[in-house]
Amino acid sequence: MGMSDYYKDLRELIGDELIFMPAVAGIIRNAEKEILFGRKHNESNWGLIAGAIEIGETPAEAMVREAFEETGLVIEPERIIGIYGGRDHRFIYKNGHKVEYLTIVFECSIKGGNLNSDNEEMKELQYFSENNIPPIENNYPTYIFRSQQDERAHFERNSK
Protein backbone atom coordinates (compact mmCIF):
# COMPACT_ATOMS: atom_id res chain seq x y z
CA MET A 1 0.00 0.00 0.00
CA GLY A 2 2.86 2.41 0.63
CA MET A 3 2.41 5.53 2.71
CA SER A 4 -1.11 6.12 4.07
CA ASP A 5 -3.02 9.35 3.50
CA TYR A 6 -2.46 10.24 7.16
CA TYR A 7 1.33 10.12 6.83
CA LYS A 8 1.23 11.82 3.41
CA ASP A 9 -0.78 14.70 4.93
CA LEU A 10 1.60 14.88 7.89
CA ARG A 11 4.61 15.02 5.55
CA GLU A 12 2.99 17.83 3.56
CA LEU A 13 2.76 19.84 6.77
CA ILE A 14 6.22 19.19 8.22
CA GLY A 15 8.31 18.07 5.26
CA ASP A 16 11.31 15.86 6.04
CA GLU A 17 11.40 16.66 9.78
CA LEU A 18 11.66 13.83 12.31
CA ILE A 19 8.34 12.17 13.16
CA PHE A 20 7.53 9.56 15.76
CA MET A 21 5.84 6.51 14.26
CA PRO A 22 4.22 3.58 16.06
CA ALA A 23 4.89 0.38 14.14
CA VAL A 24 4.67 -3.39 14.25
CA ALA A 25 6.96 -6.18 13.07
CA GLY A 26 6.42 -9.91 12.95
CA ILE A 27 8.48 -12.99 13.57
CA ILE A 28 6.64 -15.28 11.16
CA ARG A 29 7.97 -18.85 11.11
CA ASN A 30 7.35 -21.65 8.63
CA ALA A 31 6.97 -25.35 9.57
CA GLU A 32 10.79 -25.66 9.72
CA LYS A 33 10.90 -22.79 12.26
CA GLU A 34 12.66 -20.47 9.79
CA ILE A 35 11.82 -16.75 9.96
CA LEU A 36 10.29 -14.86 7.03
CA PHE A 37 12.17 -11.77 5.82
CA GLY A 38 11.40 -9.44 2.95
CA ARG A 39 13.47 -7.20 0.74
CA LYS A 40 11.74 -4.13 -0.64
CA HIS A 41 12.20 -2.86 -4.18
CA ASN A 42 15.52 -1.00 -4.64
CA GLU A 43 16.86 -2.04 -1.22
CA SER A 44 19.78 -4.35 -0.51
CA ASN A 45 19.08 -5.24 3.13
CA TRP A 46 16.33 -7.50 4.38
CA GLY A 47 13.72 -6.72 7.01
CA LEU A 48 11.05 -8.34 9.08
CA ILE A 49 7.51 -8.08 7.78
CA ALA A 50 6.54 -4.75 9.32
CA GLY A 51 4.83 -1.40 8.96
CA ALA A 52 3.18 1.59 10.57
CA ILE A 53 0.09 1.38 12.74
CA GLU A 54 -2.67 3.43 11.11
CA ILE A 55 -5.11 5.73 12.90
CA GLY A 56 -7.90 3.68 14.51
CA GLU A 57 -6.04 0.38 14.15
CA THR A 58 -4.91 -1.86 17.00
CA PRO A 59 -1.32 -3.08 16.83
CA ALA A 60 -2.54 -6.66 16.19
CA GLU A 61 -4.78 -5.46 13.34
CA ALA A 62 -1.83 -3.57 11.84
CA MET A 63 0.32 -6.71 12.00
CA VAL A 64 -2.32 -8.81 10.23
CA ARG A 65 -2.81 -6.12 7.55
CA GLU A 66 0.91 -5.58 6.95
CA ALA A 67 1.59 -9.31 6.70
CA PHE A 68 -1.15 -9.76 4.11
CA GLU A 69 -0.11 -6.68 2.09
CA GLU A 70 3.58 -7.61 2.07
CA THR A 71 3.38 -11.41 1.78
CA GLY A 72 -0.11 -12.64 0.87
CA LEU A 73 -0.17 -14.66 4.11
CA VAL A 74 -2.96 -14.59 6.66
CA ILE A 75 -1.30 -14.56 10.07
CA GLU A 76 -2.31 -14.34 13.70
CA PRO A 77 -0.25 -12.44 16.26
CA GLU A 78 0.27 -14.88 19.15
CA ARG A 79 2.26 -12.84 21.66
CA ILE A 80 4.45 -9.76 22.03
CA ILE A 81 8.15 -10.63 21.91
CA GLY A 82 9.37 -7.11 22.61
CA ILE A 83 8.92 -3.36 22.25
CA TYR A 84 11.75 -1.23 20.86
CA GLY A 85 12.30 2.48 20.35
CA GLY A 86 14.56 5.41 21.00
CA ARG A 87 17.50 6.91 19.14
CA ASP A 88 18.72 3.52 17.89
CA HIS A 89 15.48 3.19 15.91
CA ARG A 90 15.78 6.37 13.86
CA PHE A 91 16.05 6.26 10.08
CA ILE A 92 16.48 8.67 7.22
CA TYR A 93 14.86 7.33 4.07
CA LYS A 94 16.27 7.87 0.59
CA ASN A 95 13.66 10.62 0.04
CA GLY A 96 15.00 12.47 3.12
CA HIS A 97 12.11 11.65 5.46
CA LYS A 98 13.27 11.21 9.06
CA VAL A 99 11.43 8.84 11.38
CA GLU A 100 11.84 7.35 14.83
CA TYR A 101 9.97 4.09 15.25
CA LEU A 102 8.39 2.62 18.35
CA THR A 103 8.01 -0.99 17.23
CA ILE A 104 6.00 -3.77 18.82
CA VAL A 105 7.42 -7.11 17.68
CA PHE A 106 4.93 -9.98 17.59
CA GLU A 107 5.45 -13.71 17.29
CA CYS A 108 2.96 -14.77 14.63
CA SER A 109 1.53 -17.99 13.28
CA ILE A 110 0.51 -18.59 9.68
CA LYS A 111 -3.20 -19.35 9.31
CA GLY A 112 -3.54 -19.34 5.51
CA GLY A 113 -2.92 -17.48 2.28
CA ASN A 114 -0.17 -17.96 -0.28
CA LEU A 115 3.31 -16.48 -0.12
CA ASN A 116 3.47 -13.86 -2.87
CA SER A 117 6.96 -12.58 -3.69
CA ASP A 118 7.53 -9.66 -6.04
CA ASN A 119 4.41 -7.72 -5.11
CA GLU A 120 3.75 -3.97 -4.81
CA GLU A 121 5.56 -3.76 -1.45
CA MET A 122 8.21 -6.49 -1.63
CA LYS A 123 10.63 -7.58 -4.33
CA GLU A 124 11.69 -10.76 -2.54
CA LEU A 125 10.53 -12.90 0.37
CA GLN A 126 12.63 -15.65 1.92
CA TYR A 127 12.79 -17.76 5.06
CA PHE A 128 16.06 -17.83 7.05
CA SER A 129 17.10 -20.00 9.98
CA GLU A 130 17.59 -18.19 13.28
CA ASN A 131 21.32 -18.97 13.01
CA ASN A 132 21.57 -17.40 9.55
CA ILE A 133 19.78 -14.02 9.84
CA PRO A 134 20.48 -11.81 6.80
CA PRO A 135 21.76 -8.21 7.05
CA ILE A 136 18.86 -6.07 8.27
CA GLU A 137 18.35 -2.31 8.69
CA ASN A 138 16.64 -2.37 12.07
CA ASN A 139 18.64 -2.53 15.26
CA TYR A 140 16.78 -5.42 16.93
CA PRO A 141 18.45 -7.49 19.63
CA THR A 142 19.27 -11.04 18.51
CA TYR A 143 17.01 -12.30 21.29
CA ILE A 144 13.90 -11.82 19.15
CA PHE A 145 15.05 -14.36 16.57
CA ARG A 146 15.49 -17.24 19.03
CA SER A 147 12.79 -19.88 18.93
CA GLN A 148 13.35 -20.75 22.60
CA GLN A 149 12.33 -17.71 24.66
CA ASP A 150 10.64 -17.13 27.95
CA GLU A 151 7.11 -15.77 27.82
CA ARG A 152 7.96 -12.28 29.09
CA ALA A 153 8.15 -9.42 26.59
CA HIS A 154 11.60 -7.90 26.12
CA PHE A 155 12.19 -4.15 26.11
CA GLU A 156 15.05 -1.73 26.34
CA ARG A 157 15.40 0.02 29.69
CA ASN A 158 17.98 2.68 28.83
CA SER A 159 18.55 4.87 25.80
CA LYS A 160 22.07 5.74 24.78
CATH number at residue 60: 3.90.79.10
Which pTM does this prediction carry? Answer: 0.90
**Structurally, how many domains does the chain consist of?**
1
124 part of the active site: yes
Specify if 156 maps to a domain. Answer: no
Specify if 157 maps to a domain. Answer: no
pLDDT of residue 32: 95
Specify if 76 maps to a domain. Answer: yes
Domain span including residue 47: 5-147
The runs of H, that is alpha helices, within the chain are: 5-14, 59-71
Of the residues 107, 124, 137, 151, only one is catalytic, namely: 124
Residue 155 to residue 15: CA distance in whole angstroms: 31
Specify if 59 maps to a domain. Answer: yes
pLDDT of residue 150: 67
From the centroid of its chain, how far is CA 93?
15
Mean pLDDT per block of 10 residues along the chain (160 residues) reads 79 92 97 94 90 96 97 96 92 91 96 89 93 89 82 69
Q: Which residues sit opposite 122 in a β-bridge?
A: 40
Closest CA to 147 of 116, 109, 117, 103: 109
